[in-house]
Amino acid sequence: MKKLIGILLSIGLSVGIVSSMSAQEMKHNNSAKFQPIEQPITLRVAIALGGLSLMVAQLWWFLGSKPKSQKAEMSEGVQEVTITVDGGYVPSLVTVKRGQPVCLQFLRLDPSSCLEKVLFPDFHVAQDLVLNQTTPVEFTPDSLGVFQFSCGMGMFHGAIAVEK
């Protein structure tokens, strides 16, 4: 969902730039033909403000809305981290090391059936989560990369970043 907003913002910004560019071109063509058609100043201000607000929104997007990342703690050879399930996953990004067993402790506090299952397609895990309890999900990541997990319907997302 957040990714989608980011993409929409990018599209909006490009449209804003293109439309203000073509507006300038229009003005240039008009003066060349000695047919000065006054562009309404409000339109130009609106385009400028629109572009500016999109840029601000995009900046906020990249600087202010990074997912909360957490490194898994190593204990007795297992990389462990507790992920709270409550209107989403916290932390939503967990960093682990490759080749070491991982144990994610899912503490489900959210009663909505949406979050009763957690799926790790890359690790072939589909785990039911018991309400108000901690359910472990275990796997060993063999390859580097970022692997998504989600609720049963794919509405809430998190990711595991596997590093060296």
**Contacts with Cu ion, residue ranges (CB under 5 A):** 114, 151, 153, 155
Residue 117 Cβ, how far from Cu ion at the closest point, in Å? 8
Given the complex with Cu ion, which of 21 and 155 has the nearer CB atom?
Answer: 155
Given the complex with Cu ion, which of 104 and 118 has the nearer CB atom?
Answer: 118
Please give the helix or strand (H or E) that residue 97 lies within, else none.
Answer: strand 93-97
Given the complex with Cu ion, which of 151 and 162 has the nearer CB atom?
Answer: 151
Query: In Å, what is the CA distance from 155 to each residue of 16, 30, 137?
Result: 30, 50, 19
Given the complex with Cu ion, which of 108 and 141 has the nearer CB atom?
Answer: 108
Beta carbons within 8 Å of 3's beta carbon, 6+ residues apart: none
Select from 159, 87, 82 the least CA-distant residue to 120: 159
Given the complex with Cu ion, which of 9 and 118 has the nearer CB atom?
Answer: 118
| Residue 87 Ramachandran class (φ > 0 left, ψ -120 to 50 alpha, else beta) | left
Strand pairing category for 102-108 and 78-85: parallel
Calpha distance 72→93 (Å, rounded): 10
Residue 87 Cβ, how far from Cu ion at the closest point, in Å? 11
